[in-house]
Chains A and B, each alone.
Chain A
Amino acid sequence: MNQLDLIIALQQGDNEAFKKLIDEWQDMVYNTALGIIQNEDDADEITQEVFIQVFQSIRSFKGDAKISTWLYRITISKALDYLKKQQRKKRFGFVDYFWSGNKNDVDEGKEFHHPGVVMENKEMASQLFKAMKQLPNNQRIAFTLHKLEAQKYGDIAVIMNISLQATESLIARAKTNLKKIVQEYYTKNIA
């Protein structure tokens, strides 16, 4: 089944087509969300939300972009919403505690280990992920797509709806910033 047939089947409410869509793209969506938000449970939650949105809005999909591009865009948008919510939680933690009775569970210092990183790189990668949290959102997304999803600059440009030059610049700035952050960490904690 090619992409166009899949889209038509999805728009006709074919459950098998929806199952096929999930089987094929679930890991891509999950891995992208995981790279951006760095929490496995929340990445799973976002994956569910992405496919629910796809299910609800497939009729409005015109097919002018690849399904993967569309899924990447929804995932990024959901992940950014999540990050905003986290920042709001951090800012109004006391108010939230007063109204909901739940303690603020935003844990910035928690180490994140990506399951796909080889064992000998785990510690180094954990430092890199920690540094990625300090990047501006657009640099964080571009870097995640480039490193974790192995997307080419041209594809990242299409996904993020920016020019190729802008993508190159974003990733270069992300690398420079990451280098600075990691260098500061090692200078302060190890040397």
Chain B
Amino acid sequence: MNKKENINNWVDEALNSLDNVKRATGKPYLLTRMNAKMHNSNSSVWDNALQFISKPMVALACMLTIIAFNVLVISRNYNTSNTINEEQAVTVDEYNANITSLNYTENIEP
């Protein structure tokens, strides 16, 4: 018998291997497990939300978003405060408001 015939025999055997197969039987206590499943599926929206948030990757993503938002707010504030300081300096120069002592004004020669 050559190789090709061998292969053909195996193929036929494989195709006929499900002849007279018996029906597989399910696990016992299906009704009990179904009741438990139906009970679990009735859990509230809050339970599902908490379950989602508690996933490590979701928690990490939230944390990174909060950190990024904080960095953004801080950098914006820093830029704004620099601009205000420059404006203040100009105002101070214009009105000689940088004089902190009355003594100094009294000693100014006319």
Binding site for B on A (CB under 8 A): 18-19, 22, 26-31, 34, 43-44, 47-48, 51-52, 55, 98-101, 114-118, 121, 124-125, 127-128, 131, 147-149, 175, 178-179, 182-183, 186-187, 190-191
State the main secondary structure of chain B at its contact with A: helix
Task: Determine if B31 is an interface residue (Cβ-Cβ < 8 Å).
Answer: yes
Q: How far is the CB of B64 from chain A (nearest CB, A)?
A: 13
Known: A22-B30, A101-B57, A127-B14. A27 touches B25 (CB 8 A): yes
Which of B15, B31, B56 meets A179, CB within 8 Å?
B15
Q: Which of chain B's residues have a CB closer than 8 A to the CB of A27?
A: 23-26
B 17-61 contacts with A by CB, 8 A: 17-27, 30-31, 33-34, 37-38, 55-58
Interface residues in B, total, Cβ within 8 A? 30
Task: Determine if B76 is an interface residue (Cβ-Cβ < 8 Å).
Answer: no
Find the A residue at minimum CB distance from B58: A99
Binding site for A on B (CB under 8 A): 3, 6-8, 10-11, 13-15, 17-27, 30-31, 33-34, 37-38, 55-58
Q: Which of chain A's residues have a CB closer than 8 A to the CB of B21?
A: 114, 116-118, 125, 147-148
Whether A26 and B26, one on each chain, are in contact in the complex, defined by CB atoms closer than 8 angstroms, is yes
**Interface Cβ pair total, 8 Å cutoff:** 104
Q: Which of chain A's residues have a CB closer than 8 A to the CB of B23?
A: 27-28, 31, 116, 148-149
Q: How far is the CB of A172 from chain B (nearest CB, A)?
A: 13
Q: How far is the CB of A132 from chain B (nearest CB, A)?
A: 10
Q: Which of chain B's residues have a CB closer than 8 A to the CB of A116?
A: 21-24
Whether B11 and A186, one on each chain, are in contact in the complex, defined by CB atoms closer than 8 angstroms, is yes
Q: How far is the CB of B12 from chain A (nearest CB, A)?
A: 9
Q: How far is the CB of A150 from chain B (nearest CB, A)?
A: 9
Find the A residue at minimum CB distance from B34: A48
Known: A26-B30, A98-B57, A101-B57. A128 touches B18 (CB 8 A): yes
20 contacts between A and B (CB under 8 A): A18-B31, A22-B30, A22-B31, A31-B24, A43-B24, A43-B26, A44-B27, A55-B38, A99-B55, A101-B57, A114-B18, A114-B21, A116-B22, A121-B18, A125-B14, A125-B17, A147-B18, A182-B14, A182-B15, A191-B3
A38 to B48, CA, bound (A): 30
Q: How far is the CB of B24 from chain A (nearest CB, A)?
A: 5
Ranked 3 nearest A-B pairs via Cβ? A116-B22, A30-B26, A124-B17
A100 to B55, CA, bound (A): 6
Q: How far is the CB of B25 from chain A (nearest CB, A)?
A: 5
